[in-house]
């Protein structure tokens, strides 16, 4: 399970508002045709026509696109191409997909069980002593700022060194390093856990709201054929959190992957970069150990 996300050509060098547009194309029937024109229009100052066609095709992979539709949008938008300094259009975030029950059932029927996920794990996390510290060391750079907590109300952001020896007793962690010790909440308060002080994504975590653990494991193994699975953590209750390594990957690709995961039953809440997830091998507030069923630090580069 050392797969990796595919690439969108050169997207990282584009202005943020264009990256936002590319990460949120609407579905067919929800304004996709107009989106092609609008997005092509702002791409002209930065890419050739051939590159724009490829970006739009990659961003909407899987959607039914008419023959020549993208090429036509690129050609027709050239005469009114956006110029830097003009008003920048905002991205329209497309709705999350509905659950595809038939596809989920198909994956579960042929996808294996929790025991198979355990057998596939390159490293085994077992024994009475928690291995949270070793796992976190393998997943994050040594100088990372980490936001961790005993609850949604009791947390802080500290350097990795300040958390040493304490993480096994905590149930929550943000799966990406923080960019600052504090940030501003939506109502203007200073806090150690905000979207504004969460750094770029390092892991995208997939959690499912329903299904048995065997069913959830089957979905995670299926998703691991599309993206690098680093960790699978039991929540201490009913769900398994799959940590997919994604640092440096374009948001458009990650949104597409998340859309697919949501269509298979994933909770969309973990798309938010600052969302707390379960600390690997930590302790839930009910006293249960948040066991690690799969651990592959080799995918973390």
Both 55 and 127 in one domain: the answer is no
CA–CA distance, 29 with 262 (Å, rounded to integer): 19
CATH number at residue 235: 3.90.920
Radius of gyration for the chain, computed over Cα atoms and rounded to the nearest angstrom:
21
Q: Are 90 and 17 in contact (CB under 8 A)?
A: yes
**In the β-sheet with 292-295, what is the strand arrangement from edge to edge?**
203-207, 240-245, 229-234, 292-295
- Among 80, 112, 127, the domain boundary falls at 80
Both 65 and 155 in one domain: the answer is no
Q: What is the pLDDT of residues 38-96, one digit of tens each?
A: 999 999 999 999 999 999 998 888 788 888 889 989 998 888 888 876 665 655 555 78
CA–CA distance, 211 with 229 (Å, rounded to integer): 20
pLDDT of 10 > 70? The answer is no
Residue 91 lies in a domain: no
Task: Provide the residue range defining the domain that includes 39.
Answer: 11-80
Both 120 and 248 in one domain: the answer is yes
Q: Which has more confidence, 85 or 218?
A: 218
Q: What is the pLDDT of residues 231-271, one digit of tens each?
A: 999 998 889 999 999 999 988 889 889 999 999 999 988 99
Number of separate domains in the chain: 2
pLDDT at site 296:
97
Residue 282 lies in a domain: yes
pLDDT at site 284:
93
pLDDT at site 4:
66
pLDDT at site 90:
56
pLDDT of 97 > 90? The answer is no
Both 235 and 274 in one domain: the answer is yes
- Among 80, 109, 125, the domain boundary falls at 80
pLDDT at site 1:
61
Residue 32 lies in a domain: yes
pLDDT at site 242:
98
Res. 288 pLDDT band, cuts 50 70 90: very high
Residue 278 lies in a domain: yes
pLDDT at site 5:
65
Q: Per the confidence metrics, is the pTM higher than 0.75?
A: no
Both 116 and 151 in one domain: the answer is yes
pLDDT at site 3:
65
Res. 209 pLDDT band, cuts 50 70 90: confident
Residue 88 lies in a domain: no
Q: What is the mean pLDDT of the chain?
A: 89
Residue 43 lies in a domain: yes
Both 22 and 136 in one domain: the answer is no
pLDDT at site 295:
97
Both 168 and 277 in one domain: the answer is yes
Residue 94 lies in a domain: no
Q: Which has more confidence, 7 or 71?
A: 71
- Among 47, 80, 113, the domain boundary falls at 80
pLDDT at site 182:
94
Residue 3 lies in a domain: no
Q: What is the pLDDT of residues 22-37, one digit of tens each?
A: 888 887 777 788 889 9
Q: Are 241 and 278 in contact (CB under 8 A)?
A: yes
Both 69 and 213 in one domain: the answer is no
Average pLDDT of span 153-164: 96
Both 108 and 216 in one domain: the answer is yes
Both 63 and 196 in one domain: the answer is no
Both 120 and 215 in one domain: the answer is yes
Render 115-151 in DSSP notation, one character per residue. Answer: HHHHHH-SB---SSS--HHHHHHHHS-TT-EEEEESS
Both 75 and 143 in one domain: the answer is no
């Amino acid at each position: 399970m050392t797969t990796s996300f595919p690439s969108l050509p050169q997207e990282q060098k584009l202005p943020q508002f264009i990256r936002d547009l590319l990460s949120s194309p609407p579905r067919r029937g929800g304004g996709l045709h107009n989106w092609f024109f609008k997005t092509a229009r702002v791409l002209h100052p930065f890419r050739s026509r051939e590159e724009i066609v490829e970006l739009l095709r990659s961003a909407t992979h899987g959607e039914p696109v008419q023959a020549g539709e993208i090429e036509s949008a690129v050609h027709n938008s050239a005469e009114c191409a956006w110029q830097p300094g003009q008003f920048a259009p905002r991205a329209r975030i497309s709705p999350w997909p509905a659950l595809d029950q038939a596809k989920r059932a198909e994956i579960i029927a042929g996808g294996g069980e929790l025991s198979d996920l355990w057998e596939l794990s390159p490293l085994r996390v077992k024994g009475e002593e928690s291995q949270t510290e070793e796992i976190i060391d393998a997943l994050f750079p040594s100088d990372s700022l980490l936001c961790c907590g005993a609850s949604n109300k009791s947390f802080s952001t500290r350097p990795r060194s300040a958390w040493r020896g304490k993480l096994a007793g905590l149930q929550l962690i943000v799966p990406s390093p923080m960019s600052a010790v504090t940030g501003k909440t939506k109502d203007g308060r200073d806090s150690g856990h905000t979207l504004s002080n969460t750094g770029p994504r390092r892991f995208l975590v997939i959690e499912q709201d329903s299904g048995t653990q065997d069913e959830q494991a089957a979905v995670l193994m299926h998703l691991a054929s599309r993206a690098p699975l680093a960790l699978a953590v039991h929540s201490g209750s009913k769900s398994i959190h799959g940590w997919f390594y994604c640092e440096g990957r374009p948001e458009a690709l990650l949104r597409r992957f998340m859309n697919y995961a949501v269509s298979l039953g994933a909770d969309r809440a973990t798309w938010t970069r600052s969302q707390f997830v379960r600390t690997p091998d930590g302790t839930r507030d009910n006293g249960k150990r948040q066991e690690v069923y799969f651990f592959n630090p080799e995918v973390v580069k």
